[in-house]
Amino acid sequence: MAGLYAPIRATSSSSTSTSTSSTSNQGGTFASRLLLLLTVLPLTLAAFAFVLQWRGGLEDPESRWPTNHQSFPGMENSPRSDETQVVASDLVAQSSPSDCAELLGHRSSPAFPYVRGWSFDFESDLRPKGVKVIYRTRELEEKQAKSRIWNETWLSSFFYKPCNYELFVKQSLNMEMAIVMARNAGMDWIIHLDTDELLHPAGAREYSLRQLLLDVPDNVDMESSVEREDIKDPFSEVSMFKKNYDHLPKETYFGMYKEATRGNPNYFLTYGNGKSAARIQDHLRPNGAHRWHNYMKTPNEIKLEEAAVLHYTYTKFSDLTSRRDRCGCKPTKEDVKRCFMLDFDRQAFIIASTAKEDEMLRWFREHIVWTDKSLNLKLVRKGILTRIYAPMAIVQGLRESGLFRNVITNALFPSKNLPPHAGHSNSSSDFNSNDLHVDSKAATARKVLELVNAFEAPAVGPQSPPGLDDVHLMRT
């Protein structure tokens, strides 16, 4: 029995040895192929990437950032890098004053170099569409003198007063005309902004004003906080803003009130009750320069959490003298109350009218310019101050493209090829004065309407945000 099994065992052993050898050879072949694949694949990908880069098919992400290490405005306050502070200070020291042509047109260096290759999708024709300048002529004033507003009571408390009150009435009359013109042009929305204001559609998809207005907003404004006294172009140079009361927790607002006001009479230098946009509709009327109303119903107002009107108020030192020069009031505490509605405007007018230039500059720095970087950083962390760069980037990009120069040129000197609703007008010929005129029958009907209509809300003038004296009213 033993002899029978011996050859079988030997054969079995030999077969096992052969099988093991074959498996070992296969494993070695697989390992070799895997090693070859891992070696060749990275080399192939590297060669492919090199070819694409050589042909310009790929863009190095680092190439999108400037090589001169310029920092965003406001980063000089950051404690993260002393190098950033040095670079920022050097940039300010090397900057030279810009004249009007430089502000409106191209510059020798990019105005916003933080993201290279950023271009706006403009059409080949850069002429303005929908831009119209209407001059205040005698013809215009005669038409506005026939406005129904003069026969109503909601704006009457502002009539026949100088300076800001007169301006407020003119703005309201202009808004009334704008309603008619917007309706005739088929517009859906209307908003009144001053020349020192921008609409900031934060929270809207794609930073779109059109998307923002779909929610019928009542925009809350933020006020600019300048950090230098040599600002030339606020829309391109100012990035720090003070949030409105409605955008802050009450505890933060009142808890940091003294530090945020820095000795000024109010939390905001000027008005803090915002401005609103309105949908074009029947019986729409202005309710002062800040609000809209309706003759036949109480409008439904909605406030958004993020959208705001950015108010670049007193951003330039020359704003002090320019406001002084267009008002003939006496620089006394009694007379300025007759001319200005807000306390800071009154103080600024007196300083501009009585102080020497060096005293005005010192007052400007103490009350308007935010030079204390540690305080700025503290208020930013508390949420009172905030940085907003989007308007700056957009405005600078539009300016570098030459669009601003083109818009201004064509608005002042329109050509025959402009669209019918673009350009300027020395008259308001496209505006029907009958829309404002009130004849005797209409006036009688209006008086009857006043007796039965509860919607004669008085005009809302510029108002300051709540002060410390209002704390107890907020708690009750």
Helices and strands of the chain, counted as H and E runs: 18, 11
| Of 56-65, 327-336, 466-475, minimum mean pLDDT range | 56-65
Angstrom distance (rounded) from CA 300 to CA 16? 91
pLDDT at residue 50, rounded to an integer:
74
Closest CA to 360 of 320, 315, 314, 316: 320
User: What contacts 61, CB < 8 A, 6 or more positions away?
Assistant: none
Angstrom distance (rounded) from CA 276 to CA 398? 26
Q: Among residues of the chain, what percentage have pLDDT more than 70? A: 65
Neighbours of 117 (CB within 10 A): 7
Q: 304 with 211: CB under 8 angstroms?
A: no
Where does 252-351 show beta strands of DSSP type E?
A: 277-279, 284-286, 292-294, 308-311
If 0-12 CB within 10 Å is exposed, 13-18 middle and 19+ buried, where does residue 343 land?
A: middle
Angstrom distance (rounded) from CA 28 to CA 39? 16
Q: How far is CA 196 from CA 129, 309, 315, 389, in A?
A: 22, 10, 9, 17
User: What contacts 178, CB < 8 A, 6 or more positions away?
Assistant: 190, 192
pLDDT at residue 425, rounded to an integer:
52
Does this model's pTM top 0.75? My answer is no
**265 confidence band (pLDDT: 50, 70, 90):** very high
Give me 425's structure tokens.
Answer: 């007008």
pLDDT tens track for 432-465: 545 554 444 444 434 433 433 445 678 888 888 8
Angstrom distance (rounded) from CA 252 to CA 224? 19
Q: 242 with 223: CB under 8 angstroms?
A: yes
Please report, for the chain, the start and end positions of each structural domain, with discontinuous segments joined by +.
Answer: 128-475
User: What contacts 335, CB < 8 A, 6 or more positions away?
Assistant: 329
Determine the average pLDDT of the residues in 167-178: 95
Closest CA to 288 of 145, 152, 184: 152
Q: Tell which wins on pLDDT, 55 or 238.
A: 238
pLDDT tens track for 202-213: 888 888 888 888
Q: Please state the φ and ψ torsions of residue 304, each to the nearest 5 degrees.
A: -95, 155
**6 confidence band (pLDDT: 50, 70, 90):** very low
pLDDT tens track for 289-335: 999 999 999 888 888 778 899 999 999 999 998 988 889 899 999 99
Angstrom distance (rounded) from CA 422 to CA 190? 17
Q: Tell which wins on pLDDT, 255 or 404.
A: 255
User: Helices (DSSP H) in 95-126: which residue ranges?
Assistant: 100-104
If 0-12 CB within 10 Å is exposed, 13-18 middle and 19+ buried, where does residue 91 land?
A: middle
Angstrom distance (rounded) from CA 322 to CA 212? 34
pLDDT tens track for 113-160: 434 444 444 444 544 456 788 889 999 999 999 999 999 999 999 999
Three-class secondary structure of residue 28 per DSSP: helix
User: What contacts 17, CB < 8 A, 6 or more positions away?
Assistant: none
Q: Which amino acid is at 337?
A: K
pLDDT at residue 84 greater than cutoff 80:
no
Residues 176, 180, 181, CA angle at the centre, nearest 5°?
Answer: 110
If 0-12 CB within 10 Å is exposed, 13-18 middle and 19+ buried, where does residue 291 land?
A: buried
Q: Which amino acid is at 306?
A: E
Share of the chain residues as helix, strand and coil, in percent rounded to the nearest 5: 50, 10, 40
If 0-12 CB within 10 Å is exposed, 13-18 middle and 19+ buried, where does residue 368 land?
A: buried
Determine the average pLDDT of the residues in 36-51: 80
- The overall average pLDDT reported for the chain is 75
